[in-house]
């Protein structure tokens, strides 16, 4: 019997095409509610998602024939992983698919912050020609600290090889350092870092990890870049640190206020005070969770997922 796969988010067409060529039966439903999908998920052996809704225990209990859940992205935080695994469901993700995109975006944010590119561009367009106030910094000679040295962290460290920088990494796993980054304790990373880049998933351990206590643990004023998950940083505490000069600037591709689907920010009419500070800040660069969202990664993510589904099922 062919394996029936339900796609609940749109993806690069090669995912659909290559599964079809391999003998899978594809079905799409991009509009039904979670409850409506739950009512029919028993008819499918596979589901392909991005981040439309959470695959929780209730959903998994309805998916009595599910063999795999494939998320076209890097993380699996929208899935109750432990419960799915206990039901014998294979979990598939594709952190390899967008690691290069994230690495390039991270480096771009640092260089833009250091050289005030966004600010200078905006001033020129408004008729201002301010050279001294837009004097920048050089990355060479700095120490870059990376927290989370998996696919994303390693790809970013590789991009730094052309710069005369010291690269340190901290990770909960042992022996992950390589020729591009020296693995150190968190204490040593905090003592030496000038630029901090987060490449960690959103877990109970990392939720609100970057708060006032964490930031004050750094010996030197620093720049903070976050291309991981928004809720890993307490925005209000980041703002306090920026106001005091402890944080010199921030590049944020992700925000604490994002919805789980990543497709919207927040629905409330009142803008949070901390977020308004970021909007008004001259030392902040904001992007809408697009670090891993390039044309190239769109295709690469789909290809990685196809390959992994076939490896699991065929």
* Catalytic (active site) residue 188: no
E strand spans, 72-189: 90-92, 143-147, 166-170, 182-183
- Decide if 99 is catalytic: no
As a whole number of angstroms, the longest Cα–Cα distance in the chain is 70
**Which uninterrupted H or E stretch holds 223?**
strand 222-226
Residue from 71, 105, 229, 300 carrying the catalytic annotation = 229
229 is catalytic: yes
Task: Give me the catalytic one of 99, 199, 289, 300.
Answer: 289
Helix axes 295-313, 95-115, angle to 10 degrees: 160
CA distances from 306 to 41, 67, 70, 92, 214 (A): 20, 15, 9, 10, 40
Q: Which of 12, 71, 258, 300 is catalytic?
A: 258
Q: Which residues are catalytic?
A: 229, 258, 289
């Amino acid at each position: 019997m062919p394996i029936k796969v339900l796609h609940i988010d749109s993806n690069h067409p090669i995912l659909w095409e290559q599964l079809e060529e391999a003998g899978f039966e594809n079905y799409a439903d991009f509009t039904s509610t979670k409850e409506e999908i739950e009512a029919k998920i028993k008819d499918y052996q596979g589901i392909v998602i991005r981040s439309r809704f959470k695959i929780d225990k209730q959903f998994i209990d309805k998916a009595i024939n599910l063999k795999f859940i494939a998320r076209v992205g890097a993380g699996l935080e929208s899935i109750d992983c432990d419960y799915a695994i206990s039901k014998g469901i294979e979990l598939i993700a594709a952190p390899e698919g967008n690691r290069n995109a994230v690495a390039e975006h991270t480096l771009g944010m640092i260089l833009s912050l250091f050289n005030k590119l966004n600010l200078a561009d905006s001033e020129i367009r408004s008729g201002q020609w301010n050279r001294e106030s837009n004097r920048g910094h050089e990355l060479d000679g700095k120490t870059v600290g990376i927290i989370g040295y998996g696919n994303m962290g390693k790809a970013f460290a590789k991009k730094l090889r052309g710069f005369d920088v010291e690269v340190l990494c901290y990770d909960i796993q042992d022996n992950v350092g390589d020729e591009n980054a020296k693995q150190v304790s968190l204490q040593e990373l905090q003592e030496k870092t000038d630029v901090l880049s987060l490449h960690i998933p959103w877990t109970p351990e990392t939720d609100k990890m970057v708060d006032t206590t964490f930031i004050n643990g750094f010996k030197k004023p620093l720049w903070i870049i976050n291309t991981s998950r928004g809720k890993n940083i307490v925005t209000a505490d980041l703002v306090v640190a920026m106001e005091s000069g402890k944080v010199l600037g921030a590049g944020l591709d992700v925000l604490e206020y994002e919805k789980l689907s990543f497709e919207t920010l927040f629905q409330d009419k009142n803008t949070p005070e901390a977020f308004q500070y970021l909007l008004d800040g001259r030392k902040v660069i904001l992007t809408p969770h697009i670090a891993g969202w390039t044309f190239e990664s769109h295709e690469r993510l789909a290809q990685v997922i196809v390959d992994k589904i076939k490896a699991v099922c065929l």
